[in-house]
Structure 1
Amino acid sequence: MHLEYKRTFAYVKRMARTKTISDTALLDLLLATVQVHGPAGLSFAKAAAASGLAAATLVQRFGNRDGMLEAILLRAWDLLDEATETAMAEAGPGATGAVDVLLRLTHEQASDQSFGDGLLLLREDFSNPVLRARGARWGTRLAEALGNRLSPDAAHAVRLGWQMASLWQGTLLWWGFSREGSPRERVKQVLLEWCDGQQRGDRSTC
């Protein structure tokens, strides 16, 4: 479990014993629970134990287990959207800024558990059309922001943005096998090499 979710878990669990938890706070807590037990391990019993709310109360909020899991993963997309917009706002222009956006979205370190948990969450996203559409929108927004930093030509910018986003995700996937250096070190190396190749080929403003 990431440190920020450990803190959220402890805070919301204390709050659950004194008053009703807001939907957002509850979803943050349950997201931490999913990261511990995995999507398949989520149940109303585990959610009730983690939150201090009765299982019947959770059923009233979410309807069924699938509805609860979907709400939790939609909250995860909310958090990623927020992090992405922040990265875009804080990163500079040009290729250096595009690389910086993706570095800000890459964890410095990733344990075996956290990396595997992330893949399990992606499996749920792929199988649920609502979550799959959310991921597609995020990808389009990210590719657009990257491309606008790479080329003044709109059509070319779209292609470059998707290439860079795909290279980033592919690098993280292969890092999961090799574990050479940190994820951020590997991403930075690969993306800078790609930008250098684009520049030498005179194909963009990288």
Structure 2
Amino acid sequence: MSPRPRTTSDSTILDAVTRVISRVGPARMTLADVAGEAGHSPAGLVQRFGSKRGLLLAVARQRAGEVRGAFAMARAWQPSPLEAMFEVLAGFVAHADTPEALAHHLGFTQVELDDAEFHAAAFESARTMLGGIRVLLDQAVEAGELAACDAESVARTVQTTYNGALVTWAVYRQGTLGDWLRGEIEAVLEPWLPPLGTDGEPDEAE
């Protein structure tokens, strides 16, 4: 007898986990919460992922693939390398658009730093993000959006700024998180940005 087909994909369930984390955080999240959000049964979640920890670990591992996919697609819909970078980075935190939701996801970061398996997934996500930023910075230099720079070093600065900006936005709570991220990253890129003309647009290279 063939096994019953899965009516809910893993991706759908893991997206539901992300939404539940946004509302209540990883510590308070229950399998019942996820089951209700995903339209699945708690028993089915246990059968598929083994436990709440297994479910959270699957989310952590999925993130690395999502980071890779986001950067791979970036230039397909955004011709400007810098704009692609801003949009990709803002997209990573689209699910944390309130200080409360962001705090809950930062709670997940604590788990990633405290557990070896979670840390391995977090490390892979961070390394993939760094590589994606570096490629877009290289392309921005080629496109004349940035002056020549050490893209590896600047990419690390951008990544560090990105992570720090999440916390500072949650404290200051000014504007949207996406706008805050953009402003902070533009500030660290300023030494390599072309000067603006009187019309507010970058001066054309002579």
- Indicate the residue corresponding to 2:168 in structure 1: 174
Q: 1:57 to 1:164 in 2, by over 3 A?
A: closer
The answer to whether the Cα contact below 8 Å between 1:147 and 1:162 also exists between their aligned partners in 2 is no
When the two chains are superposed, the root-mean-square deviation of aligned CA atoms in Å is 3.2
Counterpart among 192, 196, 203 of residue 198 in structure 1:
192
Are 2:35 and 1:48 equivalent residues in the alignment? yes
CA contact (8 A) 2:17 2:34 kept: yes
CA–CA distance in structure 2, aligned partners of residues 105 and 73 of structure 1: 17
Instruction: Please point out which of 136, 139, 153 is paired with 2:129.
Output: 139
> Equivalent residue for 2:156?
162
**Could you report, residue by residue, the CA deviation over 1:16-35 in whole angstroms, capped at 9, with x for unpaired residues?**
xxx72122222222332232
Cα distance in 1 for residues equivalent to 2:39 and 2:134: 42
More relative contact order, 1 or 2 (CA 8 Å, 6+ apart): 2
> 1:101 aligned to 2:91?
no
Unaligned stretches of 5+ residues in structure 2: 1-5, 143-147, 195-206
Summarize the Cα distance change of 1:184–1:58 in structure 2 as closer, same or farther, 3 Å threshold.
closer
Note the C-alpha offset of 1:190.
Answer: 3.4
Where 1:129 maps in the other structure, the secondary structure is helix
Normalising by structure 1, we get a TM-score of 0.68
Higher relative helix content: 1
Query: In 1, distance between residues paired with 2:9 and 2:138?
Result: 38
Per-residue CA distance 1:151-179 (angstroms, 9 max, x = gap): 57x99221122122222332333222112
The residue identity in structure 2 corresponding to 1:143 is: I
8 Å Cα contact 1:147/1:159 also seen in 2? no
1:27 aligns with 2:18: no
Amino acid at match of 1:166: T
Rounded Cα–Cα distance in structure 1 between residues aligned with 2:16 and 2:126: 25
CA distance in 2, matches of 1:143, 1:104: 9
Large movers: runs of 4+ above 4 Å:
none
1:70 deviates by: 0.7
Question: Is contact 2:64-2:122 (8 Å) kept?
Answer: no
TM-score normalised over the length of structure 2:
0.68
Residue in structure 2 matched with residue 36 of structure 1 by the alignment: 23
Name which of 116, 120, 139 aligns with 1:149.
Answer: 139
